[in-house]
Every structure is written in structure tokens, then in C-alpha cells.
């Protein structure tokens, strides 16, 4: 399996609060983002050391570097897509307020972009009154990223339906869907990630305040991953089922990586992905985010013996190696059988069904957060995965693989999809631009 992914854009000149000691080890943190090549739950939760795969397995992390690492706001792509997974995340969707249209949306995106640029550099937010809450005082940038996207309804409410890309067409229903409409979709979507919880919350609060009367919160979700430096050595993270998670990730060295993850400029060819036509040139260099709140039925899962859990996933729980043998990064041998003639990786194993080999090469960059929202009324934990996957075309990435999983994934009885959304995420803003300017001012 592949365990490399794109390197984050970080500044080596900005040491922040960590000082010289942090600067010595900063490059050890600048690894690569984990994201699996197909849409299931377990292989999809790229995190922990999978997100830092550029490091040697025996290369310890200096904890003093956590606050000093910085992601860059300006660039070809928005930060938060190929950036290494952060320890804390917030997802928030807004709907434009009644009466707000294209002009108001453009002003909001201008404000949000300016605020995100300041915060990602480790500077105070400075709202329209020049005030900052002080929540993140004394902290460095802490790998903060802020990523913005537009939902399907945004184009209706701004009079831009003619610029809406086909990739925002509604997803088909799936058998595991138990979707709550109040926690799904939205005009605007913001993803916040940081390696410090206060830095992440500071950004969340600043952006909510900047929305003011222009947009109102539709839903908001909080997530987490393993903190850099929490383990003696960098290791692939485990999800809340205890599975090593994020091994089979697309990597930037793949010749088709950009083609699979980022929307190209208009080509006019029949094979172009949604978002690559003339009506959506504004999306070039951007991507589509499919966001799903996936609840794990942990009480049921934890009743299974480890051997059964391994057959559900198709990998060893201890080290993530495929049941066909080898180590975590060994390619799965899907045809290998045991002495009894049975396939070592069962026909309905999650890793088999979701593998690119079984889905015509369909792949996406998955970058989720785990979540825990307390204990439900029936005494079960409300916990699972805030699944986020990135692709140039959700109807060639997420949809076909999820349909395949829908037809017999052994993991399906242990998960439930409770919220969903698809968002068109523009490319990065150049100096002097704000995110979405090519759409809103065209």
C-alpha cells in the first residue's frame, strides 16, 4: 500500500514562539498528508504518522516545534488539502442571510481571506473594529489552515447558477445513509485545522464574527487527530475503532496525482472532469470536498474478537499489514489463499472492496478528523469520523467506490452516515486576491 502524500507548504523562516530550538527540528514535522485511495471508512482516515510520512520511522519529533510550524495562505491550491493532518479541526457551514447576494458574499470572502491570512501567519485576527479575542495569545501559527468552499445552493443565492459546476450535482442515496438535513450541505463551508486547540478555536471564533449579518451558521462539527510528538516515533494513526488508518494514500509522485485531486483548466474535451468547462474556469486548481459525518457503532464493533475485526477490514490490527502478508506498506495480494483454499483477504473485506484495483483506479485524497460528541440517550458513544475526501470529480472518485461499498462491505453494519455535503473549493488566492474572487468578480 502507498503511505506517502504531498508535502505541506510551510515557512522555514518563521520560527514563531519555538525560537531557535524549534527551528532545528522543524523540517522533521514537514511531512506529507495522508489520504487513502478509495472511499471507505478505515482506509480513509489518514492521520498521525501517515500524515508525516516524509519522516523516517525512527525520527522523533521535537515537541517545541509544534507551535512554530506555518502553512502558507497564498498558493496554487488552498491550504488544508495536502497539508499534514492537524491535531484539532473544526468544520462549519454557513447559509447566506436573507437579502444577502453576490455583492455581500464577495465582501465576506474578502474579509475571511484577510483574516485567514493573518491567523495562518500567527498574527492577531483584528476584526473590523480592530479587536482580537486574545484566545491564541502566546501561541505560534501551530500549522493553522483555513479552507473555503461553496455549496450548490450558494450559486442560486448569488445569481450565479450559470457558473455552477456539474460536480456539485446531488449525490445519489446510499443504503448506509441516515442523513440529518440540518447538519448537511450549506451555502459556504469552512475547514479549520491546527495543532493547538486554542489556535483552532480562535480561528473559528474570528471567522464566525466576520460573517456578521452576511451569513448564519447552519452546522458546526469538531474533530481531532493524534498530536504531533505524542508518540516516540512517527506512526500511522489509529481511528476510534483502533485500526491503523491511512496506509493506502495517493502520493504526489504518482503521474496522475494532480489529475485525480485538482480540477484542471478548461480543456473542452469530453473526458474533462466536472468543473473543467468554461462555466467554471474559476475552479481551476481547486478541488471538490465530500464531507460525511460517519458514526461508528463502537459498542457493536468492540464485541468482535480481534481476529474477526481483522477479517472485516482485511488488515492486521496490530500493525496494519494486509492479511495476505508483509508489512503495513506491502501491496495487498487480493488473490492469495490460505491452506484451506479461502482468500486471506475476504471477498467482503473493507480494504478489498475500497481498493483502487477493484474500482477502476478510482481514488481520492482523504483527510478526516475523528469526533466524539458525548454519550447518546441509549448509552452508546456518539463518536466516529468526520470524513473529508478531495478529488477533481466526486462522480469519478467518491460515488463509484461508495456504491461498491454499499453492495456488501463487511464494515457497513458497524457504521452509519449521518450527515453529508459536497463543496467546490476554489484554487488558492494569489497575492492581492481573496478566495473565490475569480468567481464572484467575473
DSSP class per residue in 389-439: EEES-TTTTHHHHHHHHHTT-TTGGGEEEEEEEEEEE--PPPTT--TTHHH
Q: Which of 185, 195, 196, 245 is catalytic?
A: 245
Given this model, what pLDDT does residue 159 score? 97
Q: Given pLDDT bands bounded at 50, 70 and 90, which one contains residue 381?
A: very high
Give Cβ neighbours of residue 319 (< 8 Å, ≥ 6 apart).
244, 327, 328
What pLDDT digit, counting tens, does each position of 134-188 carry?
999 999 999 999 999 999 999 999 999 999 999 999 999 999 899 999 999 999 9
Q: Is 12 a catalytic residue?
A: no
Q: Do 241 and 309 fall within a single domain?
A: no
Burial class of 20 by CB neighbour count within 10 A (0 to 12, 13 to 18, 19+):
exposed
Answer yes or no: do 185 and 229 share one domain. Answer: yes
- Residue 395 sits in the same domain as residue 431: no
Percent of the chain surpassing pLDDT 70: 81
Local structure of 326: helix, strand or coil? coil
Tens digit of each residue's pLDDT (9 = 90 or more) over 81-117: 999 889 999 999 999 999 999 999 999 999 999 999 9
Same domain, 128 and 48: yes
Whether residue 77 lies inside any domain: the answer is yes
Residues 161 and 99 in one domain: yes
Are residue 386 and residue 433 in the same domain, yes or no?
no
Do 315 and 199 lie in one domain? The reply is no
Q: Does a structural domain hold residue 20?
A: no
Of 13, 126, 131, nearest to 72 by C-alpha is 13
Q: Is residue 293 part of a domain?
A: no
How many separate domains does the chain show?
2
> Are the C-beta atoms of residues 34 and 3 closer than 8 Å to each other?
yes
Q: Is residue 21 part of a domain?
A: no
DSSP-derived letter for residue 276 is -
Residue 273 within a domain: yes
- How many helical (H) and strand (E) elements, i.e. helices and strands, does the chain have? 10, 9
Q: What percent of the chain has pLDDT over 90?
A: 69
* Prediction pTM value: 0.85
Strand duo 287-296 + 365-366: pairing: unpaired
Cβ distance 397 to 273 under 8 Å?
no
- CA 34 from centre of chain: 9
Summary mean pLDDT of the chain = 85
For residues 278 and 304, membership in a common domain is answered with: no
Strand residue runs (E) in 299-404: 365-366, 369-375, 381-391
Lowest mean pLDDT among 140-144, 261-265, 309-313: 261-265
Give the three cell numbers for residue 151. 455549496
The CA distance from 56 to 329, in Å, is 14
Distance (Å, whole) CA 395 – CA 168 = 10
Is residue 237 within 8 A of residue 51, CB to CB? The reply is yes
Percent helix, strand, coil in the chain (nearest 5)?
25, 20, 55
Residue 45 inside a domain? The answer is yes
Question: Which residues have a Cβ under 8 Å from the Cβ of 106 and sit 6 or more positions away?
Answer: 436, 437, 440, 441
Q: Residue 424: which of 220, 165, 213 has the closest Cα?
A: 165
- Domain encompassing residue 385: 298-420
CA-based torsion, 136, 140, 141, 143: positive or negative: negative
Mean pLDDT: which of 261-265, 277-281, 306-310 is highest? 306-310
Residues 317 and 231 in one domain: no
Same domain, 135 and 232: yes
What integer is the mean pLDDT of 45-58? 37
CATH of the domain at 249: 3.30.70.1030
Same domain? 202 vs 85:
yes
**Alpha carbon of residue 406 to chain centroid:** 22
Note whether residue 5 is domain-resident: no
Residues 44 and 124 reside in one and the same domain? yes
In a domain, 408, yes or no: yes
Amino acid at each position: 500500500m502507498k503511505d506517502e502524500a504531498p508535502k505541506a507548504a510551510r515557512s522555514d523562516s518563521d520560527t514563531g514562539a519555538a525560537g531557535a530550538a524549534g527551528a532545528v527540528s522543524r523540517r522533521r514535522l514537514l511531512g506529507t498528508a495522508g489520504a487513502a485511495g478509495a472511499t471507505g471508512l478505515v482506509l480513509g482516515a489518514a492521520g498521525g504518522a501517515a500524515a508525516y510520512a516524509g519522516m523516517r520511522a525512527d525520527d522523533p519529533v521535537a515537541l517545541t516545534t509544534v507551535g512554530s510550524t506555518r502553512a502558507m495562505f497564498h498558493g496554487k491550491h488552498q491550504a488544508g488539502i495536502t497539508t499534514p493532518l492537524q491535531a484539532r479541526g473544526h468544520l462549519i457551514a454557513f447559509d447566506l442571510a436573507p437579502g444577502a447576494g453576490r455583492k455581500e458574499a464577495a465582501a465576506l470572502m474578502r474579509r475571511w481571506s484577510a483574516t485567514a491570512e493573518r491567523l495562518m501567519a500567527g498574527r492577531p485576527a483584528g476584526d473590523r473594529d480592530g479587536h482580537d479575542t486574545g484566545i491564541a495569545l502566546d501561541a505560534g501559527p501551530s500549522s493553522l489552515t483555513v479552507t473555503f468552499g461553496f455549496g450548490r445552493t450558494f450559486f442560486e443565492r448569488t445569481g450565479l447558477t450559470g457558473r455552477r459546476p456539474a460536480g456539485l450535482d446531488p449525490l445519489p442515496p446510499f443504503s448506509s445513509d441516515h442523513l440529518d438535513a440540518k447538519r448537511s450541505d450549506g451555502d459556504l463551508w469552512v475547514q479549520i485545522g491546527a495543532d493547538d486547540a486554542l489556535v483552532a478555536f480562535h480561528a473559528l471564533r474570528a471567522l464566525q464574527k466576520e460573517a456578521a449579518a452576511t451569513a448564519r451558521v447552519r452546522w458546526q462539527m469538531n474533530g481531532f487527530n493524534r498530536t504531533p510528538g505524542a508518540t516516540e516515533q512517527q506512526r500511522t494513526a489509529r481511528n476510534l475503532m483502533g485500526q491503523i488508518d491511512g496506509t493506502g494514500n495517493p502520493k504526489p509522485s504518482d503521474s496522475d496525482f494532480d489529475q485525480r485531486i485538482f480540477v484542471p483548466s478548461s480543456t473542452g474535451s469530453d473526458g474533462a472532469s466536472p468543473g473543467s468547462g468554461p462555466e467554471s474556469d474559476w475552479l481551476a486548481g481547486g478541488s471538490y470536498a465530500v464531507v460525511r459525518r460517519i458514526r461508528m457503532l463502537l459498542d457493536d464493533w468492540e464485541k468482535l474478537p480481534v481476529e474477526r475485526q481483522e477479517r472485516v477490514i482485511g488488515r492486521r490490527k496490530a500493525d496494519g499489514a494486509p492479511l495476505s502478508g508483509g508489512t503495513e506498506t506491502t501491496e495487498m495480494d487480493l488473490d492469495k489463499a490460505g491452506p484451506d483454499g479461502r482468500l486471506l483477504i475476504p471477498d467482503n473485506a473493507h480494504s478489498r472492496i475500497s481498493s483502487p484495483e477493484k474500482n477502476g483506479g478510482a481514488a481520492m485524497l482523504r483527510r478526516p478528523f475523528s469526533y466524539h460528541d458525548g454519550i447518546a440517550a441509549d448509552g452508546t458513544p456518539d463518536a466516529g469520523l468526520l470524513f473529508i475526501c478531495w478529488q477533481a470529480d466526486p462522480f469519478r472518485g467518491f460515488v463509484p467506490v461508495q456504491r461498491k461499498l454499499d453492495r456488501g462491505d463487511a464494515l457497513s453494519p458497524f457504521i452509519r452516515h449521518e450527515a453529508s455535503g459536497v463543496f467546490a473549493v476554489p484554487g488558492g488566492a494569489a497575492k492581492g486576491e481573496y478566495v473565490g474572487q475569480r468567481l464572484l468578480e467575473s
